Amino acid sequence: MQPTLEQIQDFKGKYPKQLYLLFFTEMWERFTFYGNRALLILFMVNYLKFDDAKGNIIYGVYQSLIYAMPVLGGMMADKFLGQRKSILWGGILLALGSFVMAIPVKESFFIGMGIMIVGNGYFKPNISTIVGSLYKDGDGRRDAGFSFFYMGINIGATLGGVLCGWVGQTISWHLGFGLAGIFMIIGLITFSLKQNVLGPIGLPPSKEKLKAKSFAGISNEILIYLLSLSIIPLFILILNYYKIYSYIINPFGIAALIYVIYTASKLGKEVFLKLMVAMVLIVFSSLFWSFYEQGGGSLQLFADRNVNMNFFGTHLSSAAVNNSITPIFVVLLTPFFVWLWIWLSKKKKEPSSVIKFSLALMQLGLGFYVYVFGAAFAKNGIESLFIFSLGYFFMVTGELCLSPIGLSAITKLSPAKMVGMMMGMWFLASSYGQYLAGLIGSLMAIPTEAGTQLSASESLPVYTNIYGKIALVAALSGLLLLLLSPLLKKWMKGAK
């Protein structure tokens, strides 16, 4: 028998049991996504023979599109499909995209990426929306639930990155891409077999509307699937002509913003103000990601050039260290944060989402400051692995005060019929963050003269100069948010 919404939300203990299903489904999806991601830049440079700059830009555009598409995927779920059908459709496309990329011809690469962009748009925002629906308004266990869910994301990210990265780099690129897709199938099968435990959560808002045939005898549901396939060629085109991207993302972002403000303005003052708090959090998260995402760009090169990768006599690969360190920290630190939020909530002392965001930015600033501080102890321009990890440690404690908390806040602050769209806006902030991260990263391009690179002692100040500025801006924006918090708290009307 399917549970009712009340039965689901009245759960005893730390987590609702439905959360485990969402945890594992998202874990396998992130396995696919990060497994694939680990190979992209290496594949472009080594197999497709793109130069570094072209590879980096295409990577940035792809990542940005990946996080922009959830706006449409969230909207489609709110209006027509509901979250469950969206997750299944998105998952099918993610698996398909990986399998297409596994076809060993050059053309398959961009086609597969285009399919994955649409798939991620349908999958990513909607699974988080369902997590939020498991909780009643005001349930103090919500942030802890999102933190646990976030751990699933990062277990998948670690496993996918390591396994597909290794298979792709050592056995065959295409096998690596294909392997990523197989795990999505596991997630899809589990989700479709077990989805009944979700009771009424995530069903289409109107079954009749979905079944109705409004065009050429085709049901609206099939029409949505066909329409979403029809935009894949557009993404393939953008990836090929990546220089036009800024002309697309900016109008898209502005249009989405206007649409949210317009829709919110019709919903009464109280709802409007709550949504404006969500928008403030979204804007600050964009800044957070633009710094944090240096991890995929400038910090990778910094790790390669200015960090001693010697670990008790073994030389570690800078790519392996740099790509696994953050998800591993997330997995290790999450139990502490889950305990902390529940403990503070029981004592009625849990800080609001706005304060958590402010702390997140300050910790991110501290993380970048560690690299600047570490320069004082560098030997011939080389910082220790300990300092490198310590910087990431603070960035991850910051991430844990922002990323799962933001997902949770969006579900608290948005009215039910807009939550999918708002979740999409949350990911759109990541999309901008990715894009800005690339621009910031390019400020640290190490000049090469006549083919020779700068030495480590010459490149170190190039990085620490910008990392120092990032530290300052992050800390100041954290402070600004702290100052704004009393006002935003009023607008939240009791929501935390």
CA distances from 239 to 61, 107, 122, 236, 440 (A): 7, 12, 20, 5, 21
d(CA 395, CA 291): 10
d(CA 156, CA 34): 8
Closest distance between ligand GLN and the C-beta of residue 166, in Å? 20
d(CA 60, CA 94): 19
492 alpha-carbon distance from chain centroid: 25
d(CA 463, CA 455): 13
**Contacting ligand GLN within 255-274 (CB under 6 A):** none
Q: Is 337 a binder of ligand GLN (CB under 6 A)?
A: no
Residue 433 belongs to what H/E stretch? helix 419-442
The residue (of 210 and 425) whose beta carbon lies closer to ligand GLN is 425
Closest distance between ligand GLN and the C-beta of residue 403, in Å? 5
Pairing relation of β-strands 310-311 and 314-315? antiparallel
Closest distance between ligand GLN and the C-beta of residue 245, in Å? 18
Q: Is 477 a binder of ligand GLN (CB under 6 A)?
A: no
Closest distance between ligand GLN and the C-beta of residue 407, in Å? 8
The residue (of 163 and 210) whose beta carbon lies closer to ligand GLN is 163
Closest distance between ligand GLN and the C-beta of residue 30, in Å? 6
The residue (of 30 and 305) whose beta carbon lies closer to ligand GLN is 30
Q: Is 89 a binder of ligand GLN (CB under 6 A)?
A: no
282 alpha-carbon distance from chain centroid: 13
Q: Is 437 a binder of ligand GLN (CB under 6 A)?
A: no
Encoding tokens for residue 248?
């697309």
Position of minimal CB gap to ligand GLN: 430
Closest distance between ligand GLN and the C-beta of residue 424, in Å? 12
For ligand GLN (CB under 6 A), the number of binding residues is 5
Closest distance between ligand GLN and the C-beta of residue 193, in Å? 24
Q: Is 354 a binder of ligand GLN (CB under 6 A)?
A: no
Crossing angle of helices 419-442 and 385-413, in 10° steps, is 150
Q: Is 158 a binder of ligand GLN (CB under 6 A)?
A: no
Residue 213 belongs to what H/E stretch? strand 213-215
Encoding tokens for residue 319?
């790519």
**Contacting ligand GLN within 287-326 (CB under 6 A):** 289
What sign results for the dihedral spanned by CA atoms 269, 201, 422, 222?
negative
Give the chain's length.
496
Q: Is 394 a binder of ligand GLN (CB under 6 A)?
A: no
Q: Is 153 a binder of ligand GLN (CB under 6 A)?
A: yes
Given candidates 86, 294, 306, 403, which one binds ligand GLN under the rule CB under 6 A?
403
DSSP string, 154-200: HHHHHHHHHHHHHHHHHT-HHHHHHHHHHHHHHHHHHHHHHGGGGTT
Closest distance between ligand GLN and the C-beta of residue 433, in Å? 7
Closest distance between ligand GLN and the C-beta of residue 36, in Å? 12
The residue (of 8 and 333) whose beta carbon lies closer to ligand GLN is 333
What sign results for the dihedral spanned by CA atoms 329, 334, 340, 341?
positive
DSSP SS3 for 383: strand
d(CA 380, CA 460): 9
Given candidates 18, 126, 358, 430, which one binds ligand GLN under the rule CB under 6 A?
430
**Contacting ligand GLN within 26-45 (CB under 6 A):** 30
The residue (of 154 and 306) whose beta carbon lies closer to ligand GLN is 154
Q: Is 93 a binder of ligand GLN (CB under 6 A)?
A: no
- Applying CB under 6 A, the residues found at the interface with ligand GLN are 30, 153, 289, 403, 430
